Amino acid sequence: MPPGAAVSRVPAVHHLVRTIGPMRKIVTLPALLLAALTATGCSVLEREYPAADPAVLVQRLTGRAQWAYDGMALPPHETVRPVQVTPGHSCHAGGLSIEKSLPDVVTFDLSWTVEDIPADVARAAEARLRRKFTSVGWTLTRDGNRQGEDFVEIGFRVQDPTTGDQFDLAWNDSTTSLFLSGYTPCAKVPPSAADTPSPKTWAPRTA
């Protein structure tokens, strides 16, 4: 929207409000304002997402995933199945079209599972990885360590204040599997990449 475009419409709105009389002013003002904003194509309330190279996001995510896997220092375990980095459409326009998802704005997600991990091993791995993330400046945003009479849950979520990337770790005594997920923040990508998983599969390299 060109500078000043929204301001130029304000006198017209005032004029319409004056002509319809004081009894209907309160009822019609929100509708008039909405109509004025819509007519001008106003986008000042809509969120602008940064453009990003999908290949760079995928590389950053898989690199951090390997770093996280190494940081857990797990004992020998079942082989982790290869996974793909997949785009997710959870990014919304905001403003007047808050419920509208944007087809070319995505988050990239990488999720994998390490099966058959005993509770003591999971607890130690969780503590090591939590320390590793926070030691390099990541912020703890959720503590998932919970225990009841008949359940045990272990985990956390952290976020990189620089990139906005997030990582989750979760374990429970029902599945005895470690679940790890990484996410990039919303970014605008070429349409050809918005619905296509990365052709590169990932599995952690073991020593």
Q: Is 198 helix (H, G, I), strand (E, B) or coil?
A: coil
Per-residue pLDDT, 74: 96
Per-residue pLDDT, 98: 55
Per-residue pLDDT, 206: 85
CATH 3.30.2030: does it fit domain 54-202? Answer: yes
CA pair distance 90, 6, nearest whole angstrom = 29
Per-residue pLDDT, 28: 54
Per-residue pLDDT, 192: 86
β-bridge mates for residue 140, sequence order: 158
CA pair distance 169, 49, nearest whole angstrom = 27
Q: In sequence order, which residues have a C-beta less than 8 Å from that of residue 102 and are 6 or more positions away?
A: 49, 89, 91, 92, 93, 188
| Per-position pLDDT tens, the chain of length 207 | 444 444 444 444 444 344 445 544 444 545 554 454 444 444 445 688 999 999 999 999 999 999 999 999 999 998 999 999 998 888 887 755 556 778 889 999 999 999 999 999 999 999 999 999 999 999 999 999 999 999 999 999 999 999 999 999 999 999 999 999 999 999 999 988 888 888 889 999 987
Per-residue pLDDT, 202: 93
Per-residue pLDDT, 155: 98
Per-residue pLDDT, 2: 41
Question: Do residues 206 and 140 make contact, with C-beta atoms less than 8 angstroms apart?
Answer: no
Domain residues of the chain, as ranges?
A: 5-40, 54-202
